[in-house]
Amino acid sequence: MSTTKDFQVTIIGGGVCGLACAIALQKAGLSVDLFEAAGAFGEIGAGIGLGSNAIHALKAMGLFDAVLAKINPASFRLGVFCSIQALEPMNSSTKYAHPTIFVQRCSNPSYHYAVFLDALVGLIDPKSVHFKKRCTSVAPSATDPDRVIVTFADGTSHETDLVLGADGVRSKVRDFVVGASEPQRVVFSNAVAYRGLVPHAVLKQAGFKTTLTDRPACFIGPDRHMIVTPLKNGELVNVAAVTARYDVPMEAWAPDTPWTADVPRAEVQEAYAAWGSDALTLLACLPEKVLKFSMHVVHPPLESYARARVAILGDAAHGMLPHLGAGAGQGIEDALLLFRLLTHAQTKKENLPAVLTAYSHVRRPRSQDVWEGSKRAGMIYHLRGPSGATHEGIRKDIVSGMWQTVWNYDIDSDIVRAVEHLQASGTFAA
């Protein structure tokens, strides 16, 4: 593998995907600058689950040992990545109008997002990181069409050979990739999550009967599901109560749907009024004000993740519903292919547009499949799954349909297909 290249890489956005890509490229000897809008690397969520696909990608980029060193080894259960070990409907009721189905979800192990990010932050060259740099646009340089100019909100700009946009679901870099005349590709998904924390002791005192383990559990029912995650050795319970509307297509929602709002607890209690007693007890224990989080996604799918010398990865390219816990994993897979392509012996400044086209050609179908799977997972939870709303149907869809294709993916085939694509176009020698 070559360790020096005749081009500079600029990454916009220092979330998990931008950081992973930047570090892997730096480790291989490439010149990388990372521009982040915030004043520091930050926390955007409570937990992040990594499937075997993401673990393999982190390993292939030489980053996994650092993550492993930061987490509690007891939380790292090898084997859970590829299979769902337990799926026991409890408190089952055949009356779906009053659902009390409880699914013990055993998906990927979850690490605190900040811990995961912290592990990566320690690996990046601090001199290459530029904070408080909010990108407002990218465009070909006026003086050299083979260079790209990045403009920031503070009025400064930066010229470079290649831009990778990892600036999240509200990406500015995406605007260039999609084209100025195109409508924005970020829409309200149809799903809302109400989030709050409840002390476990308060729950018990209120008469909550369901036994919670150390793994996230999920109450499911028509157009609603509730993920309940024990925190701090079970002292606290994190509740994410999701509601969805299927009568309005995603693209038909008003573009100004607020992303977050503090709302009275009564709003979520009303949304779940038909549910069983344990679910209602749980919601009654939430704080009087809860955070309402309207989930936004990238939709309709982009025709390409690359244009000229600019590409996007992670949520910027395929921001998806969180129901599979797979969004970051897809961005990490993107980062791996970019790393492998940009460090390839035949990649040079001159052929970067073709190399980014090959990246898009391979990553787009894979990540869009997972995007669709995430939407389907929500529908399964909401008793709209392909195998129907019986316990057997739900079990079949969750056990055999939901995670396997996400986790059991041959990430090494990505580079093979990308190189074949480059050889077929004559960019790379066969």
Ligand X SMILES: Cc1cc2nc3c(=O)[nH]c(=O)nc-3n(C[C@H](O)[C@H](O)[C@H](O)COP(=O)(O)OP(=O)(O)OC[C@H]3O[C@@H](n4cnc5c(N)ncnc54)[C@H](O)[C@@H]3O)c2cc1C
Q: Can you give the binding site for ligand X, defined by CB under 6 A? A: 12-18, 35-38, 42, 44-45, 48-49, 134-135, 166-168, 172, 314-316, 322, 325-329, 331
Whichever of 26 and 281 has its CB closer to ligand X, that residue is: 26
Q: Which residue, 336, 327, 326, is CA-closest to 403? A: 326
User: Is there a contact between 378 and 360 (Cβ–Cβ < 8 Å)?
Assistant: no
Residue 322 one-letter amino acid: P
User: Is there a contact between 340 and 153 (Cβ–Cβ < 8 Å)?
Assistant: no
Q: Which two tokens stand for residue 278?
A: 């344990």
Residue 39 CB, shortest distance to ligand X, in Å, is 10
As a whole number of angstroms, the distance between CA 306 and CA 352 comes to 11
DSSP bridge pairs for 112? 47
300 upstream amide cis, omega within 30 of 0: yes
What is the three-class DSSP state of 135? strand
Q: Which two tokens stand for residue 375?
A: 């939407």
Which residue reads 């999550």 in tokens? 193
User: Is there a contact between 216 and 110 (Cβ–Cβ < 8 Å)?
Assistant: yes
Q: How close are the terminal C-alpha atoms of the chain, in Å?
A: 17
Which CA distances in Å does 304 have to 119, 308, 312, 313, 358?
A: 31, 11, 9, 11, 10
User: Is there a contact between 53 and 329 (Cβ–Cβ < 8 Å)?
Assistant: yes
Whichever of 316 and 415 has its CB closer to ligand X, that residue is: 316
Whichever of 33 and 344 has its CB closer to ligand X, that residue is: 33
Beta strands in 209-267 (DSSP E): 217-221, 224-231, 236-244, 260-264
DSSP bridge pairs for 192? 243, 294
Residue 166 CB, shortest distance to ligand X, in Å, is 5
User: Is there a contact between 377 and 352 (Cβ–Cβ < 8 Å)?
Assistant: no
User: Is there a contact between 244 and 223 (Cβ–Cβ < 8 Å)?
Assistant: yes
Residue 98 CB, shortest distance to ligand X, in Å, is 27
Residue 22 CB, shortest distance to ligand X, in Å, is 11
Residue 330 CB, shortest distance to ligand X, in Å, is 7
Whichever of 84 and 389 has its CB closer to ligand X, that residue is: 84
Residue 110 CB, shortest distance to ligand X, in Å, is 6
Whichever of 43 and 392 has its CB closer to ligand X, that residue is: 43
User: Is there a contact between 385 and 395 (Cβ–Cβ < 8 Å)?
Assistant: no
Residue 384 CB, shortest distance to ligand X, in Å, is 20
As a whole number of angstroms, the distance between CA 293 and CA 13 comes to 22
Residue 312 CB, shortest distance to ligand X, in Å, is 9
Whichever of 38 and 274 has its CB closer to ligand X, that residue is: 38
User: Is there a contact between 280 and 239 (Cβ–Cβ < 8 Å)?
Assistant: no
Whichever of 99 and 322 has its CB closer to ligand X, that residue is: 322
Whichever of 12 and 306 has its CB closer to ligand X, that residue is: 12
Whichever of 166 and 290 has its CB closer to ligand X, that residue is: 166
Residue 327 CB, shortest distance to ligand X, in Å, is 3
Q: What one-character DSSP code corresponds to residue 103? A: E
Whichever of 295 and 362 has its CB closer to ligand X, that residue is: 295
Residue 227 CB, shortest distance to ligand X, in Å, is 9
